[in-house]
Amino acid sequence: MHRFVLLSGLMLVAAPATAQTTLGLKGGVGFATIAIEEAAVEEKYVSGIVAGVEIGVPVSGVFSLRLGGSYAQKGGGGSVGGGTVTLNIDYFHFSALARVATSGDGLSVGLAAGPWAAYRRSCELEGVTLEGTSIVTPCYDPPLSDFDIKTLDFGLAFGGGVEFPVSGRLRLGLDALYSLGLASVDDDDSKTRHLTVQTGLSFPVG
């Protein structure tokens, strides 16, 4: 029994040696909204850019960890009583995803899921009143302090994608990822929702 446990442990330790850690550069577009508890608010999506880096750490033939950091434009909008409000919130976004994918040097199809956390970099409010007056201002200014968008956000992400070789050891990837916010970003229990479609290049390092 002890030999079996020792052999299993050695196999797990040795498994990553057959693959290499990768570094990826990604960019794409995101579609975001904020789920608002108030029934009278008609929610609307906003779009923005997503760009960042990702480190792929192999664990076994089909299983790897993807550690990522990115700049993501999120937010949301809504209509209230004839007026409109849009929140543009920029975040530094960090994730740790587990990925299961087909193995081999050719086309790879995979699924990924895991936790993420985000730090708010900036927040801007755009609004149009019933009289047609436009407002653009930081959402933490005293007249708009009721929005009180919190600094930190976190949640779970899941999605999938494909990767394939393009030149030598350089690989091209395309993936879609849905981020479900679990934290309340304001005092009204509003939560973020974010769908990203990204493409990028990855290559082995080390």
CATH number at residue 134: 2.40.160.20
Q: What's the whole-model pTM score?
A: 0.82
Burial 65-94 (b: 16+ CB within 10 A, else e): bbebebebbbbbbbeeeeebbbbbbbbebb
**Within-domain flag for 2:** no
**Within-domain flag for 5:** no
**Within-domain flag for 42:** yes
- Number of structural domains the chain divides into: 1
pLDDT at 206: 67
**Within-domain flag for 121:** yes
- Report CA torsion sign: 41, 36, 121, 74: negative
How many CA atoms does the CB half-sphere of 71 hold within 13 Å? 8
pLDDT in tens, 26-51: 999 999 998 866 555 667 889 999 99
**Within-domain flag for 173:** yes
Integer Cα distance of 32 and 17 in angstroms: 39
- The residue range of the domain holding 122 is 16-204
**Within-domain flag for 9:** no
> Tell me, what DSSP letter sits at residue 5?
H
Amino acid, single-letter form, for residue 142: P
The yes-or-no verdict on residue 142 having pLDDT over 70 is: no
- Give the DSSP H/E element, type plus range, for residue 162: strand 152-167
